[in-house]
Amino acid sequence: QAKGMSEAANGSLTTHVLNTATGLPAAGLAVHLAQLQEQGLRWMELVQRWTDEDGRCPPLLAPGQAEAGTYKLRFDTAAYWQGLGRDSFYPFVEVVFTITDPAQKLHLPLLISPYSYTTYRGS
């Protein structure tokens, strides 16, 4: 039981992307994670991943890597839609969020279509 408790204390950050126009996962979409630096509102990119055939990628922050602070996920949606031969209104989607408790597991899904997007804090 102590093992399970220690795992719960190691927060992580995951995402997945769903194409709501087709109802299918968005594969091959680039996802960037950046952290806001305390001085001068400068973003420092931490990692870049690509979604797999299930619209998911390895954790953007692995267990134990999260720190309190402000972060930004940028999803490169234009290249994804172009790859499908579709025009889109949003060239990318940026989701800015704050981690207050680094021990929590955070999941931020993104639902996209060529002319809209939705995000929420998942579990």
Rounded to whole angstroms, how far apart are CA atoms 98 and 121? 11
**Residue of 70, 88, 76 whose CA lies nearest to 32:** 76
CATH number of 22-119: 2.60.40.180
- Rounded to whole angstroms, the Cα distance separating 99 from 115 reads 29
Domain range list for the chain = 22-119
For 9-25, write each residue's pLDDT tens digit: 578 899 999 999 999 99
- Return the bridge partners of 94, or none: 74
Pairwise CA distance, residues 29 & 57, whole Å: 10
Residue positions forming the annotated binding site for substrate: 16, 56, 120
Is 114 within 8 Å of 21 (Cβ atoms)?
yes
Tell me: the pLDDT tens digits for 10-68? 788 999 999 999 999 999 999 999 999 987 689 999 999 999 999 999 999 988 889 99
pTM (2 decimals)?
0.88
Q: Annotated binding residues, as ranges?
A: 16, 56, 120
